[in-house]
């Protein structure tokens, strides 16, 4: 099994809370639509901390090949530019368990 974690810091704006909610909806919309994606969970940070991420994606895949399918899948590729437009920073980690 592979776990794929991504954290984003969003642009500071009056619509930051709405932007975080939008990212959550976009990513959770991938659930059940991409082969090999076992679990997807998106959280919005609620603690004001200048060092914290604003949105976190936690996902699980059958294996590394399934993660590669997800990353190249047209539905995922539709979401990527929409999230990038709202973010100023992205960090990720992928690991096997």
Q: Is 81 exposed, middle or buried (0-12, 13-18, 19+ CB in 10 A)?
A: exposed
pLDDT at 40: 99
pTM for the full predicted model: 0.95
Spans of the chain below 50 pLDDT: none
Domains in the chain, number:
1
Instruction: State how far the Cα of 79 lies from the Cα of 45, in Å rounded to an integer.
Output: 20
The boundaries of the domain holding residue 20 are 2-96
pLDDT at 27: 99
CATH of the domain at 13: 3.30.70.100
The continuous run of DSSP H or E covering 71 comes out as helix 64-72
């Amino acid at each position: 099994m592979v776990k794929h974690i991504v954290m984003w810091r969003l642009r500071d704006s009056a619509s930051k809370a709405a932007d975080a909610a939008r990212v959550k909806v976009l990513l959770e919309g991938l659930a059940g639509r991409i082969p090999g994606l076992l679990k997807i969970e998106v959280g919005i940070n609620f603690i004001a901390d200048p060092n914290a991420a604003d949105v976190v994606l936690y996902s699980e895949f059958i294996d590394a090949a399934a993660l590669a399918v997800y990353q190249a899948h047209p539905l995922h590729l539709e979401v990527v530019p929409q999230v990038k437009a709202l973010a100023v920073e992205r960090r990720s980690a992928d690991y096997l368990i």
